[in-house]
Amino acid sequence: MRILVVGAGAVGGYFGARLVQAGREVDFLVRPARAELLRRNGLRVRDVDGAVETVPVTAVTADALSPGYDLVVLAVKSYGFDSAVKDITPAVGPNTVVLPFLNGMRHIDALTDRFGADRVYGGVAMVMTRLGEDGEIVEVGTMARLVYGPLTETPVIPPADVHAALDTGTFSATAVEDATRELWDKWVFLATMGACNCLMRAPIGRVNSAEGGREFTRAVFEEAAAVAAASGHPLRPETRERADAMVGDTTASTTTSLYWDLTRGNPVEADHIVGDLVARGRSLGVPTPLFALADLHLRVYEAGRA
């Protein structure tokens, strides 16, 4: 199977490198400057112990794309999503599957509108990595997992074939029947953690340790869970229990990429992770006052960056 990985950052770079190491045929779609760097130096992955692997990779730019890819793995930040979709369009043929690993649900709506539900899978990436100053992928934890599945019963490429391409043994790969549920479950958890981190400017454990902190984090979580339920995707009991324990932890130093970017002056994925949750809640009549406050906070931040 011929695979195009869109983006060579913390998510796409990590999983794409592992696919290359497993012998898969992979091209990386990146910007010209990044392509030149990858061609010259390869893709470097630094593990949690500090050891560095250099993976030779094939880098391509948008102007060179043509049909022929079976699987397009879309792993970009949400603020780069629109341009990425435009870039990949020449590579998406009638029998190509697009598998996005973005947060939230807005990208799923956009991709199915553009390419049709039979050519789009839902995907969730869970990995503890970040992009280093020199463009290397830096592991900050040992979790690396992909979960994915088709959105219809008649995808142009069957789940078994997609799974065979991704199940390399170099990370956890799980094919599921209901990818939409997996997307919602992660969105509720990630949006809750991100909103709590960003509003309080602190790791989740410090928030919960303050007087009134646990009541605050629980209320944020319940807002997100209510939007999911009203949208037809209530949290499973085991998912709720696991998420509630992590959101309510009083010792964890857990933060999110949203918080990481906010505290470093970077662009943030505010609209996809927080803003869209508020918008869906509003359209369904579900109050989300704490998320609305987080959304405003992030919009003010973005206005300051501009």
Averaged pLDDT, 168-195: 95
pLDDT tier for residue 134 given thresholds of 50, 70 and 90 = confident
pLDDT tens figures, 119-130: 999 999 999 999
CATH class of this structure's domain 182-305: mainly alpha
Percent of the chain residues past pLDDT 90, beyond the cut: 95
Averaged pLDDT, 140-160: 95
CATH classification code of 2-177? 3.40.50.720
Residue 136 burial (CB count, 10 A)? 17
H or E, element range at 100: strand 97-100
What is the spatial distance between Cα 29 and Cα 6, in angstroms, rounded to a whole number?
5
Averaged pLDDT, 289-304: 97
Residue 217 burial (CB count, 10 A)? 23
Q: What are phi and psi of 167, to 5 degrees?
A: -85, 85
What is the spatial distance between Cα 51 and Cα 305, in angstroms, rounded to a whole number?
35
Which two three-digit tokens encode residue 179?
Answer: 């990818």
pLDDT tier for residue 133 given thresholds of 50, 70 and 90 = confident
Least confidently predicted of 133-142, 159-168, 203-212, 271-280 = 133-142
Q: Which residues contact 300 (CB under 8 A, 6 or more apart)?
A: none
Longest dimension (CA), the chain: 57
H or E, element range at 20: helix 12-21
The one-character DSSP state at 77 is -
pTM tops 0.85, yes or no: yes
Check residue 49 and give its pLDDT.
92
- Give yes or no for residue 164 having a pLDDT over 90: yes
Domain with CATH 1.10.1040.10 in the chain: 182-305
* Residues forming beta bridges with residue 149, ordered by sequence position: 122
Domain with CATH 3.40.50.720 in the chain: 2-177
What does the H/E/C string look like for 118-168?
HHEEEEEEEEEEEECCCCCEEEEEEEEEEEEEECCCCCCCCHHHHHHHHCC
What is the spatial distance between Cα 26 and Cα 248, in angstroms, rounded to a whole number?
40
User: Is residue 210 within 8 Å of 203, Cβ to Cβ?
Assistant: no
User: Is residue 20 within 8 Å of 12, Cβ to Cβ?
Assistant: no
pLDDT tens figures, 215-263: 999 999 999 999 999 999 999 999 999 998 999 999 999 999 999 999 9
